[in-house]
Amino acid sequence: MGAGRMKGEKLRVGVAGLGYWGPNLVRVLMENPRADVRYCCDLDPAKLAKLSVRYPTIQLTREYQDLLKSDIDAVVLAVPVEAHYPLTCQALQAGKHVFVEKPLAASSEQALEMIRLATESTLLLMVGHTFEYSPPVTTIKKLVDQSILGKILYATSSRVNLGLFQRTIDVIWDLVPHDFSILFFWLGESPTRVRTIGRACMHPHLCDVAFLDLEFPSGVVGHVEVSWLAPTKLRRTTLVGTERMILYDDVEATEKVKIFDRGVSLKEPETFGEWQLTYRLGDIVIPCLDNKEPLALEMEDFISSILEQRSPRADGWNGYRVVAAIEAAQRSLRNGGVYEPVLLHPDALAKPVSSSSGR
């Protein structure tokens, strides 16, 4: 993946996009001892001026080409979804590694072209699936891989709030990448079919509430609810297995993960026609979690992957799978809520969804 780096050498980075999320990326990069943030780019002079007060050593520009012509090694993109593809391709063609916020691209065709360019140039392409670096999510991943839950049966997820309404993408493209990336990471597989119903309540053309059903090759089924029009903020996911169940509530301040030793067993019939269930109500375990910031862990993986010449957890194929599943969800929505197949490139089918455990 490009030329090897000297031990102790820093990664020279440029950040494009200083809107809602970009300043957070700049902050964690500035705090990383292995990163050297040299450029920041945005079309809005006011945003550049605000950043310059906090980080006077960073060179500021309104021209994206200034980043590409500079000596930086990598570009971090926090721009609108429609700009992901062209700006990523330009950066890769300029010989820069690229981190791009979720979703990876506006279509699976664009995502495949981005992956092709990165592969041919031996450059790293990474997507911002931040929750895959969240301590609660990586803790649950370890529990799943250790079969603590037994065989996974189904999953449900609710990601709702009052806003933030987007102007160019609907609630599916905005929020579902989080839930899809989490579920695919936990299960180690992508869905085969997706079904979606929803409606545009406030905007004539952009769906702002949606309900998605998923089927996975292993037999696991899932349900995801997303909305910009809800009375309270929910970030809650349930994973149910044959041995245990897990509740992940990201809104909780401290007890984000709860493991329930609960389940149902079918009692062996003693007489003809007898059919009885046995309910198990055991302990509730609340594991101790790291308090490391997911975004900082994500940027550390990006930097380390480049310097150590390895693939990151959330690589291009990881982002492609999520985009392909969202496309299937959008087709289902347009076609009245029928199940639509998730169409994956053969290379994506051959590659594991993610690493087996959290860092």
For residue 22 the two structure tokens come to 């970009």
Distance CA 308, CA 24 (A): 24
Same domain, yes or no: 106 and 197: no
Give yes or no for residue 356 having a pLDDT over 60: no
Question: Is the pTM for the entire model greater than 0.85?
Answer: yes
Question: What is the reported pLDDT for 1?
Answer: 56
Count of the separate structural domains present in the chain? 2
pLDDT one-digit tens code per residue, 37-78: 999 999 999 999 999 999 999 999 999 999 999 999 999 999
Question: What is the reported pLDDT for 9?
Answer: 84
For residue 216, give its domain range. Answer: 132-293+321-350
User: Is residue 262 within 8 Å of residue 281, measured between CB atoms?
Assistant: yes
Q: Which amino acid is at 249?
A: D
Same domain, yes or no: 334 and 233: yes
Q: How confident is the model at residue 3 (pLDDT cuts 50, 70, 90)?
A: very low
Percent of the chain with pLDDT over 70: 94
Give yes or no for residue 355 having a pLDDT over 80: no
Same domain, yes or no: 214 and 89: no
- The answer to the question of residue 358 being in a domain is no
Q: How confident is the model at residue 17 (pLDDT cuts 50, 70, 90)?
A: very high
Same domain, yes or no: 86 and 140: no
Question: What is the reported pLDDT for 280?
Answer: 77
Same domain, yes or no: 56 and 109: yes
Q: How confident is the model at residue 121 (pLDDT cuts 50, 70, 90)?
A: very high
Closest by CA position to 279, among listed 256, 245, 239: 245
- The answer to the question of residue 274 being in a domain is yes
Question: What is the reported pLDDT for 50?
Answer: 95
- The answer to the question of residue 357 being in a domain is no
Secondary structure in 3-state letters for the chain: CCCCCCCCCCEEEEEECCCCCHHHHHHHHHHCCCEEEEEEECCCHHHHHHHHHHCCCCEEECCHHHHHHCCCCEEEECCCHHHHHHHHHHHHHCCCEEEEECCCCCCHHHHHHHHHHHHHCCCCEEEECHHHHCHHHHHHHHHHHCCCCCCEEEEEEEEEEECCCCCCCCHHHHHHHHHHHHHHHHHCCCCCEEEEEEECCCCCCCCCEEEEEEECCCCCEEEEEEECEEEEEEEEEEEEECCCEEEEECCCCCCCEEEEEEEEEEECCCCCCCCEEEEEEEEEECCCCCCCCHHHHHHHHHHHHHHCCCCCCCEHHHHHHHHHHHHHHHHHHHCCCCCEECCCCHHHHHCCCCCCCCC
pLDDT one-digit tens code per residue, 323-333: 999 999 999 99
Say which range, 117-121, 166-170, 219-223, 270-274, has the weakest mean pLDDT.
270-274
Same domain, yes or no: 85 and 28: yes
Same domain, yes or no: 281 and 227: yes
Same domain, yes or no: 116 and 153: no
User: Is residue 172 within 8 Å of residue 329, measured between CB atoms?
Assistant: yes
Question: What is the reported pLDDT for 103?
Answer: 97
Question: What is the reported pLDDT for 6?
Answer: 47
Same domain, yes or no: 125 and 236: no
Q: Write the CATH number for 185.
A: 3.30.360.10
Distance CA 115, CA 108 (A): 10
Q: Which residue has the higher pLDDT, 3 or 325?
A: 325
For residue 5 the two structure tokens come to 């780096």
Q: How confident is the model at residue 275 (pLDDT cuts 50, 70, 90)?
A: low
pLDDT one-digit tens code per residue, 92-105: 999 999 999 999 99
For residue 202 the two structure tokens come to 């406030």
Percent of the chain with pLDDT over 90: 86
User: Is residue 320 within 8 Å of residue 119, measured between CB atoms?
Assistant: no
- The answer to the question of residue 214 being in a domain is yes
Same domain, yes or no: 37 and 148: no
User: Is residue 137 within 8 Å of residue 358, measured between CB atoms?
Assistant: yes
Same domain, yes or no: 304 and 331: no
Q: How confident is the model at residue 271 (pLDDT cuts 50, 70, 90)?
A: low
Angle of CA points 116, 118, 123, to nearest 5° = 155
> What's the length of the chain?
359
Give yes or no for residue 286 having a pLDDT over 60: yes
Beta strands 245-249; 193-199: pairing state = unpaired
- The answer to the question of residue 57 being in a domain is yes
Q: How confident is the model at residue 357 (pLDDT cuts 50, 70, 90)?
A: very low
Q: How far is CA 55 from CA 12, 38, 43, 79, 140, in A?
A: 16, 10, 18, 20, 37
Q: Which residue has the higher pLDDT, 151 or 277?
A: 151
Question: What is the reported pLDDT for 4?
Answer: 47
Same domain, yes or no: 141 and 285: yes
Q: Write the CATH number for 32.
A: 3.40.50.720
User: Is residue 279 within 8 Å of residue 286, measured between CB atoms?
Assistant: no
Q: Which residue has the higher pLDDT, 168 or 333?
A: 333
Question: What is the reported pLDDT for 269?
Answer: 65
Q: How confident is the model at residue 274 (pLDDT cuts 50, 70, 90)?
A: low
Closest by CA position to 328, among listed 344, 314, 312, 317: 344
Question: What is the reported pLDDT for 325?
Answer: 98
Q: What is the mean pLDDT of residues 229-234?
A: 96
Distance CA 194, CA 189 (A): 14
